[in-house]
Amino acid sequence: MKRNNPFCTLNLSEPGHAEVPSCPSRERLALSFARLQMIQDMREQRQDPRFGRSVEDKLVWRELLDLELQDADEQIERIAEASASGEL
């Protein structure tokens, strides 16, 4: 998985572009991306398309679940703010 891969949605900045301020979730995503890249490189080196699939699946699903939870938290915050301001 390369950073310029059209399926890569991690939105990590490319060299030469302005850096976004660091935050824990961005650092976690960068670390996960690096692990996935390492697995892909080893898979290519070994010429084994199944190498590391279970680890890769765990990394991807963990991040997807965390993003879903983050989205739910943000929706709850918006509802609470709307309720407090009397918009509901």
User: What pLDDT digit, counting tens, does each position of 30-61 carry?
Assistant: 888 888 899 899 999 999 989 888 988 988 88
In the chain, where are the structural domains located? 24-84
Q: What is the pLDDT averaged over residues 78-83?
A: 90
Tell me the CA end-to-end span of the chain in Å, nearest whole number: 44
Q: Quick one: CA dihedral 79, 81, 70, 34, positive or negative?
A: positive
pTM for the predicted model, two decimal places: 0.54
As a whole number of angstroms, the longest Cα–Cα distance in the chain is: 60
* Residues belonging to the chain: 88
- In the chain, % of residues over pLDDT 70: 70
The CA distance from 59 to 41, in Å, is 16
pLDDT of residue 16: 53
